[in-house]
Structure 1
Amino acid sequence: MALTFVLDPAVTPALRDGILDLWADVSNAGGAVGFVAPVEREEIRPELVKHLVAMAEGRHRLLVGHDAAGQVAATAFFCFNTHRLQTHWLWLCTVMVHPRHQGRGHGRDLLTAAADAARGFDGIDAIRLGCRGGLGLERFYGSCGYKEVGRVPGAIRVAPDDDRDDITMLLPLT
């Protein structure tokens, strides 16, 4: 069953908790969303609060996907640039699909919905995102139209003696 995507949903306690649960479940399943398993919701909460503050200040926007039961199943945050020479592109960050929904095309649907939403933002010509090497994410994003435009070898340390590349991907919207 398809996910239902909503741009700029009202931030309710249920949405906040749903995002925390999603973020923890994705992280603990090995997802590359800023944490390394095992991680607890309370370790993630400060990062979510940063996103929510940026939303309140107009620097971020949220796209959320709900499953048929109304549960938060996917997210992507649009992170706008404030530098005057870089306001024509944005970052897509904290891109997540719940592990129980992976392998069904929902990640591709999330990226399509994100690109469609970004095309409606004034002056945005491209989306950039970063991904962790070693998981094949660049192949997935490439299959969705993104191109690898940069790579910093070993920039992400997930454990002692386990450094991963930081990969930058770009999707032109025009």
Structure 2
Amino acid sequence: MTLTFELDPAVDTALRDGVLALWADVSNAGGAVGFVPPVTPEEIRPALLRHLLGMAEGTTRLLVGRDEEGEVAATAFYTYNSHPLMTHWVWLYTVMVHPGHQGKGYGLDLMAAVEAAARGAEGFEHIEAIRLTCRGGTGVDAFYARAGYKEVGRVPAAIRVAPGDDRDDIIMLLPLR
């Protein structure tokens, strides 16, 4: 089984609910995607609405991966930079693979699809790099390194997961050109 990836899917109720469910499942499994478990889809909804608003405004794009049943199984959101000196690279946010699909190589498949879209899709012609941040102490930085990203910066203790549990904010970059 493999995932099928689509850039800029039509936003409908099924997509919205699928992304919300994925985000909650990933968060509740310990994934570092902006929330600390336990979390419900309703608590995540405002964050998703910000992504969807960006999509409607043309500042954010979604790459979604669907499993054989057509269910949302993976996501990555690209956000263009509005600062005129930084329009040559994009941010990558909310990179997720459903916990039930982890360990099958789908994460690297997702990152390959992210890179392929940024290298070849319309609207990315001027993009020279993808930048992301990740939470230290999770090992996800090693995953991104396997996908070709290099650590280019680190802000110590920038992320407070809980009182007394501060994590580094790791900045990673994938040059495309």
Q: SS state of the match for residue 114, structure 1?
A: helix
Q: SS state of the match for residue 32, structure 1?
A: coil
Kindly indicate whether residue 92 of structure 2 is the aligned counterpart of residue 92 of structure 1.
yes
Q: How far 1:34 sits from its partner (Å)?
A: 0.2
Q: SS state of the match for residue 171, structure 2?
A: strand
Equivalent-residue separation in structure 1 for 2:126 and 2:105 (angstroms): 29
Percentage of identical aligned residues? 70
> How many pairs align?
174
Kindly indicate whether residue 155 of structure 2 is the aligned counterpart of residue 152 of structure 1.
yes
TM-score by length of 1: 0.99
The residue type paired with residue 136 of structure 2 is G
Which residues of structure 1 form unaligned runs of 5+? none
The residue type paired with residue 37 of structure 1 is P
Partner of residue 70, structure 2: 70
Partner of residue 16, structure 1: 16
Kindly indicate whether residue 172 of structure 2 is the aligned counterpart of residue 169 of structure 1.
yes
Q: SS state of the match for residue 95, structure 2?
A: strand
- Per-residue displacement from partner, 1:143-164 (whole Å, max 9, x unpaired)? 1100000000100000010000
Partner of residue 142, structure 1: 145
Partner of residue 60, structure 1: 60
* Superposition RMSD in Å: 0.5
Partner of residue 38, structure 1: 38
Equivalent-residue separation in structure 2 for 1:162 and 1:98 (angstroms): 25
- Per-residue displacement from partner, 1:51-76 (whole Å, max 9, x unpaired)? 00000000000000000011000000
Partner of residue 126, structure 2: 123
Q: How far 1:169 sits from its partner (Å)?
A: 0.5
The residue type paired with residue 119 of structure 1 is R
Equivalent-residue separation in structure 1 for 2:86 and 2:116 (angstroms): 20
Q: How far 1:122 sits from its partner (Å)?
A: 2.0
Which residues of structure 2 form unaligned runs of 5+? none
Partner of residue 81, structure 2: 81
Equivalent-residue separation in structure 1 for 2:60 and 2:125 (angstroms): 14
TM-score by length of 2: 0.97
Q: How far 1:23 sits from its partner (Å)?
A: 0.1
Equivalent-residue separation in structure 1 for 2:91 and 2:106 (angstroms): 20
